[in-house]
Chains A and B, each alone.
Chain A
Amino acid sequence: GAVVSQHPSRVICKSGTSVKIECRSLDFQATTMFWYRQFPKQSLMLMATSNEGSKATYEQGVEKDKFLINHASLTLSTLTVTSAHPEDSSFYICSARDPKVNTEAFFGQGTRLTVV
């Protein structure tokens, strides 16, 4: 199947700083990417849908000014957590859909963010 690479896999940052997470589709072009957040022992909660070349669509309750999403190319979407707080500590996972295999989404390996 197609490969989605997420970087970094783990990051620790100080409160008040910003951190960027990258999601790349390595062998296909993804017109749509999705960002999820997962708390320990819980399910994946969709944060936003990212469409190449346009503004992301955020789910209800997700602060768009805090979680900045950019999808500047067909193979890269980024999530920036701005002015991070300890409560932003979580596991963030991206996924991308391949238009050629459009019934399936491919997931990155996730990023463990710890804000201290």
Chain B
Amino acid sequence: AQSVTQLGSHVSVSEGALVLLRCNYSSSVPPYLFWYVQYPNQGLQLLLKYTSAATLVKGINGFEAEFKKSETSFHLTKPSAHMSDAAEYFCAVSEASASKIIFGSGTRLSIRP
């Protein structure tokens, strides 16, 4: 069975500071990994995805994530936080290209002025 664990339900950083959201996965096969962002009362927007190509994945809005198989991790980072980055972030895993996507519990990112 596949699963993801997001460490920290709430992360708060200052504007301009580094953003680091942690995600560890469990999968019996090489996984597809995703990071999504959700703003209040809205659907999900894909930030980036890992599909067994480059281990460092660059996404939208300056976010990137690195797949580390040895650590079963897929942490999300952004060098400099912006106020508009405040939202809920979900890490997700899928075992195959057409199979279901399983979500982590989410991390709420707050940005301090």
The answer to whether B51 has its CB under 8 Å from any CB of chain A is: yes
Q: CB within 8 A of A44: which of B32, B51, B90, B94?
A: B90
Size class of the contact patch on chain A:
20 to 34
- On whether the beta carbons of B49 and A43 are closer than 8 Å, the reply is no
Q: CB within 8 A of A43: which of B43, B90, B94?
A: B90
The answer to whether B41 has its CB under 8 Å from any CB of chain A is: yes
Residues from chain B with Cβ under 8 Å of A49 in the complex: 100
- A95 to B97 alpha-carbon distance, docked (Å): 14
Minimal Cβ-Cβ distance residue in B for A94: B43
Task: Name the distance in Å between A55's Cβ and chain B's nearest Cβ.
Answer: 16
| Known A104-B46, A107-B44, A110-B43: A43·B104 in contact at CB below 8 Å | yes
Q: Mask for B21-33, Cβ within 8 A of A = 1, else 0?
A: 0000000000010
Task: Name the distance in Å between A107's Cβ and chain B's nearest Cβ.
Answer: 4
- On whether the beta carbons of A110 and B41 are closer than 8 Å, the reply is yes
The answer to whether B105 has its CB under 8 Å from any CB of chain A is: yes
Residues from chain B with Cβ under 8 Å of A36 in the complex: 103
- On whether the beta carbons of B46 and A6 are closer than 8 Å, the reply is no
Residues from chain B with Cβ under 8 Å of A31 in the complex: 98
Minimal Cβ-Cβ distance residue in B for A99: B98
Task: Name the distance in Å between B42's Cβ and chain A's nearest Cβ.
Answer: 6
Minimal Cβ-Cβ distance residue in B for A48: B100
- A6 to B43 alpha-carbon distance, docked (Å): 10
- On whether the beta carbons of B98 and A32 are closer than 8 Å, the reply is yes
Minimal Cβ-Cβ distance residue in A for B96: A102
Binding site for A on B (CB under 8 A): 32, 34, 36, 41-46, 49, 51, 90, 94, 97-98, 100-106, 108
Binding site for B on A (CB under 8 A): 1, 6, 31-32, 34, 36, 41-46, 49, 91, 93, 95, 97, 99, 102-105, 107-110, 112
